[in-house]
Amino acid sequence: MAQIAVFFLFLAVIQASVALKCKVCDDTDGSCSKLRDETCPAGASDREAACLIHIYKDATTKKEMTEKKCVNRFKNTGKYDCIENPNNQQIKCYTCVEDFCNEKNSATKLGLFGIVSLVLSILVSKIL
């Protein structure tokens, strides 16, 4: 029975190491109303793939613009510097590293498969 717990723990680790999937804006007007899925490419050894949400107010149109895409951020700090136009007003710029965590304008979504696998491995080990 301990093998079952190890199996679920293994699944949780595998899920965390699989390529990151993010939502990417699929329109050009800055509304980001159409999204598509994209698998993020791996970065250099000091970087990790991350999903970006960048929201800013356009200086010319005064319209709130949203950018969502895959980026590479520094592993040791989790930092990514958004490219800013000095004329635009920055509202939000953050990254996250869970699959599709940039689908909404929030970085709190966790990978459900990883959480379920981890909880099951703990429960099974307690039962045994």
- Interval 16-65: pLDDT, tens: 456 999 999 999 888 999 999 999 998 888 999 999 999 999 888 899 99
Comparing 62-71, 89-98, 111-120, the range with the smallest average pLDDT is 111-120
In whole angstroms, what is the distance from residue 128 CA to residue 114 CA?
A: 21
Q: Is residue 5 part of a domain?
A: no
In whole angstroms, what is the distance from residue 35 CA to residue 12 CA?
A: 27
Q: What is the pLDDT of residue 42?
A: 87
Residue 1 has pLDDT above 80, yes or no: no
The answer to pTM > 0.75 is no
Residue % of the chain over a pLDDT of 70: 69
Range of the domain at 37: 20-108
Q: What is the mean pLDDT of the chain?
A: 79
User: Buried b vs exposed e over 36-70: b needs ≥16 C-beta within 10 Å?
Assistant: eebebeebeeeebbbbbbbbbeeeeeeeebbbbbb
Q: Is residue 59 part of a domain?
A: yes
Q: Is residue 27 part of a domain?
A: yes
Q: What is the pLDDT of residue 86?
A: 84
Give the number of other Cβ atoms within 10 Å of residue 123's Cβ.
Answer: 12
Q: Is residue 124 part of a domain?
A: no
Q: Is residue 125 part of a domain?
A: no
Residue 109 has pLDDT above 60, yes or no: no
Q: Is residue 14 part of a domain?
A: no
pLDDT digits (tens, 9 = 90+) for 60-78: 889 999 999 999 999 888 8
Domain count, the chain: 1
Q: Is residue 87 part of a domain?
A: yes
Question: Average pLDDT of 109-124?
Answer: 52
Q: Is residue 43 part of a domain?
A: yes
